[in-house]
Amino acid sequence: MMDSIINLMKLYTAFKSRGNWPLIRHSRTQLLDFVLCRGSLNRKNPVSALLYWWGLLKGFDLLVWRLETFGFLFLAECPEADKKQLNRYLPQNSQVV
């Protein structure tokens, strides 16, 4: 239980330091569907989704990898030029924070 709480804090700092905020702002509904497991591949009811994510918090590296794969987190060593390149198809009014 304590590991999950510590990993939740680490996830918060990861989002704060390397979150892809232009993508997050642009696709809030997709992120919400991802978190609530409403997608077609991993559909769960809200209680099961909460338990699923609580279990994923035990394996912090896997959770961060999934968020990096979907683009919600940048890689730790990603330079600023690559961040702009990754977000090149987003509307121009959202800049990299």
Q: What is the pLDDT of residues 2-52, one digit of tens each?
A: 888 899 999 999 999 999 999 999 988 888 888 888 877 778 988 998 888
DSSP 73: B
- Pairwise CA distance, residues 31 & 66, whole Å: 12
In this predicted structure, the answer to whether residue 1 has a pLDDT above a threshold of 80 is no
Residue 73 pairs in a beta bridge with 19
